[in-house]
Chain A
Amino acid sequence: MITVTINEKDIELEKPVTILEAARQGGITIPTLCYFEGLEKFGGCRLCLVEVEKLPKLQTACTVMVTDGMVVRTETDTIVKARRAMLEFLLINHPLDCPYCDKAGECDLQDLVALYGPDSGRFAEGKRQHPESFDDPIIVRNMERCVNCKRCVRMCEGVQGDSAITVTGRGSHSFIEPFSGGRYDCEYCGNCLTVCPVGAIMSRLHRHSYRPWFVEKEIESLCGFCGVGCSMVLQMRENTILRTIPRMDLGINKGLLCAKGRFGYDLVESSKRLTAPLVRKNGKLVPVSWDEALGTVAEKLGDIKGMNGGGLIAGIASARCTNEANYVFQRFFRETLLSNNIDSIARSFYIPAQNYLEGIFGQGVTANLISGIGNSDAVVIAGGDPTKINPVLGLQIRAAARKGARVISLSDSEGLKRFGSSQLISSAGSENILYGAVVRMLMEGSDVPGKNKALDEALQKLDAPKDKDVESRTGVSVADIGKAVDELKSAKNVSIVLGPDVLLRDGMRGLFLMASMIYLTDARVYLLSERPNEQGLADVGCLPDTLAGGRPVELSSFREKYEQEMGYAVPEKAGMGLFEMVEAMEKGSIKAAYVMGDNPVFNMPSSHRVRNAFKALEFLVVQDAFMTETAQMADVVLPAAIWSEKDGTFVNLERRIQRLHKAKNSVGGLEDWKIIVKIAGLMGSKMSFGSAKEIWEEICKASHLYGSLSYEDLESDKALWPYKGEPLRSGEAAVEVPEDHGTAPEVVVYADRSLFHSGSFSRYSAALNSIQSEPYAMMHSDLAGRIGVKDGDKVRITSGNSSLELVSMINDEIRDGSLRVPNVFEGVCVMSLIDYEPDDSSAINVQRTSGLKVEKA
């Protein structure tokens, strides 16, 4: 026990901390400027100076550690004089342009000067001149205001790991600059905006449009872009979001956001939002009243249901919608339309991957805390770059690497290059050989673990590739793999982070080999999730074969119990999955579809085929906030509320249930569940809900998984897996060794999972578009050399009847032979170049590119 005396008050401490932390624990405030919790200590601003008995000079409280018996004073005349002098120094060059500085009112410097500052300066020399930089679309730098606390640089380097900014020059000519000196070439996390204590680094998005005292209310809510589920605060004035800010003590992200979360909020107020329901008349979509639109939907769906029951109708739910909306959606389908044909685009990766892993290891195997990655001593990455797909999860990997963890990348992961000790990147199409080699080497010299009989047997049957095949086909040296495997073997606490490509590209074999790696290293597994509610979608029963709470439709005992408890009937036969729906549309055995919050004709592979399938429908309803490619084909378009306009819950990739709070009224859309309840009502359903909360209560009744957590419970740790109960299933699935269907074509096209966009949803954000506004074809310089293009030249990519012309972007951080095109922008659908085909089981489809031609345009 350490006892220190600060301002005559005794403070007892368990372990040594800095004087500043000790004072804070004792409720004593010491002013700071360069200090920021979580950043590397700096001691540069000298405002936290305190007197320590027996030390001749004033000490910086933020860096000096307490010792037992230390006597500290924080507000003596000497200290106050010193602080005043420090502030006078800071103001030598500070322009004091508070009247038009956006930071006024929440500026640390302003507050400190008000508290201690001199009333006038004594320096007659002029102030330094440095014009404000508007070179960047998002970040304005005003270096005249900068106090050189380096908080932004320490954040960028030490926490975000981007190291995009630095202090250039020296002395009073020190300025914070990105490498270019103008526009940023960075991850645009905007965390430098959070930490800047003055008005030196500011966002352009709300420039001169607010003052802190304009904020009428603050709504704590969630980011709606990816499956991490970062918390943020929306600052509102009337019905407008003034800005979003993170709060350092809030949520799983603890104040860190990524580009999408921080700047993408403006899409809610996009002028492209749909504001009125549309119905197709004489071939054109025309605005009509809600009554007419909903009436049309009810009538048409009723007609088609009347032809042959609900089996003719398909429903596509969305991982961008809340649990509440998705639950009501599936209830409407099952109860009113008598159809189990409910699925979503999460069918491509998240849902089947999780099913497979849960089958082997038991329910909840993927429910691991993201913060746990930071404590791992080895992290394996496969199937996608976590720092792009789930950026804030990616930060945990970087944090682990900084603490000395081995990061082993088995897939392109530019964001980890500077942190990765082993980059084992196979040539495109031969991933399974690389994974197979890793699994074989993990098994060498030891018996199978013996904890899972089915997996043990499968592993013994595994025909792992020989060393010489590994090198010739993957291009990765066996020695490098061996070194990485040795590191993995010696690690005690392994995290394995799986991105979509382990299934989308590598197929069931990829997933099997990953499961083997998890098993052999006793690792925690994380499934990357591109959308905010993929987990919730499955939990509330937006699946063709499973009801809320994971109850199989086709087992009559489960179904009947469900019907009894819930008071509505469920069709007996399992419905169609997403890809079966497309086939059925082609054959005419699906005649109508209801798409909620997604854009399948743009987001599904073989987009031409999918488009034709949708074209063959008799009736298509699309409920969305924007006129997407799918909405353009619809017979009825229903404008929906999005993200900050609705209440509800999302379940993130660690299976944490979190509340989304409504901050504003929609510009014209209704909340998803309200629309569906109205249509159901017109079709004779008794389903009625007054609020999202009431739906949540019904979900808890339907899903035993969720215990009976109330909305209030969700604000606490109770919303963590396994909530209040125990997992329902243990792992007992039979395990096959799937065959390797990997190919090694010359060029493989991928949808680029950019840090700045989130599928076709984010194309409506002006801010994100200002960072990345143009589609591109990203390639390695070797590939560019082979086809004779330079950076910025146009290339034409052709596959079958589809062709795209794009500007080339050369990036040597990605592997040769891969071509990355964002599937974001209107008119540039990379999914038209990618086909899908069934893998081992018909339910799993893998993406393929074949016969691809890339040439200079």
Chain B
Amino acid sequence: MSRKVRKEGYPSTRSELLGALHTKQYDEGWLSQDGLKAVSDDLNVPAAAVKGVATFYHMYHNEPMGRNVIQICTNVACMIMGAESLVDLLKKEYGLEPGGTTDDKRFTLVIMECIGACGTAPAMLVNDDFHENLDEKNIIEILNGYK
């Protein structure tokens, strides 16, 4: 599935830069130099300016990612509800360090800021899927669904 880059309806193609970067990342998993160059060519926005934006926002990945990106919140609510032990569990289970990728490229772990699920903490995103009320048992079951 690919999102279409909308170049019409904006005062300049630069306005669509964030969307185009998301699309690129969606398609390729991360934003490589070639990917950034392609966005630059497509929107006619200078490559350096594209890179400036892509490296500013944390939601853009400037390193190759695993097939599935796990993003766990460790802010206060999630932390109190045991998010940190989940992070430790992932390390034990998959050898996953925060920011790291498993050797088989199955998972990448990203520690993220609050995703607004404090009432159902701890919570995480796997790719675009939202999961809440996590514990040491269900998290493994959930992750088993991602190959």
Contacts and interface: CB of A to CB of B under 8 A. Distances in A.
Contacts of A179: 33, 36-37, 47-48, 51
A294 to B, nearest CB: 55
Given A167-B56, A179-B36, 7 more contacts: A157-B46, A166-B46, A166-B51, A170-B55, A179-B51, A418-B44, A418-B46
A166 B48 CA distance: 5
Contacts of B55: 168-170
Interface of A: 157, 163-170, 177-180, 418
B49 interface: yes
20 contacts: A157-B46, A163-B48, A164-B46, A164-B48, A166-B46, A166-B51, A166-B52, A167-B52, A168-B55, A168-B56, A169-B55, A169-B56, A177-B48, A177-B51, A178-B48, A179-B36, A179-B37, A179-B47, A179-B48, A418-B46
Contacts of A166: 46, 48-49, 51-52
Contacts of B49: 157, 163, 166
B8 to A, nearest CB: 18
Contacts of A418: 44, 46
Interface in B33-90: 33, 36-37, 44, 46-49, 51-52, 55-56
A418 B45 CA distance: 8
Nearest to B55: A168
Interface of B: 33, 36-37, 44, 46-49, 51-52, 55-56
Contacts of B48: 163-166, 177-179
A555 to B, nearest CB: 56
A179 B46 CA distance: 9
A180 B36 CA distance: 11
Top 10 nearest A-B pairs (CB, nearest first) are: A163-B46, A166-B52, A166-B48, A168-B55, A179-B47, A179-B48, A170-B56, A169-B55, A179-B51, A167-B52
A654 to B, nearest CB: 30
Contacts of A163: 46, 48-49
A379 to B, nearest CB: 19
A180 B33 contact: yes
Nearest to A186: B48
Contacts of A167: 52, 56
A418 B49 CA distance: 13
Contacts of A157: 46, 49
Contacts of A170: 55-56
Contacts of B33: 179-180
Nearest to A184: B48
Contacts of A177: 48, 51
Nearest to B40: A179
Contacts of B37: 179
A617 to B, nearest CB: 52
Nearest to A170: B56
Nearest to B36: A179
A180 B48 CA distance: 8
Residue picked from B33, B37, B44, B52, most chain A C-beta under 10 Å: B52
Contacts of A168: 51-52, 55-56
Contacts of B44: 418
A566 B37 CA distance: 64
A135 to B, nearest CB: 14
A271 to B, nearest CB: 36
Contacts of B47: 179
A535 B36 CA distance: 45
B45 to A, nearest CB: 8
Residue picked from A157, A163, A169, A178, most chain B C-beta under 10 Å: A163
A178 B47 CA distance: 9
A166 B52 CA distance: 6
A157 B36 CA distance: 18
A138 to B, nearest CB: 17
A177 B47 CA distance: 11
Contacts of A165: 48
A106 B128 CA distance: 53
Contacts of A178: 48
A180 B33 CA distance: 8
Contacts of B51: 166, 168, 177, 179
Nearest to A163: B46
A169 B46 CA distance: 17
B114 to A, nearest CB: 18
A180 B46 CA distance: 12
Contacts of B56: 167-170
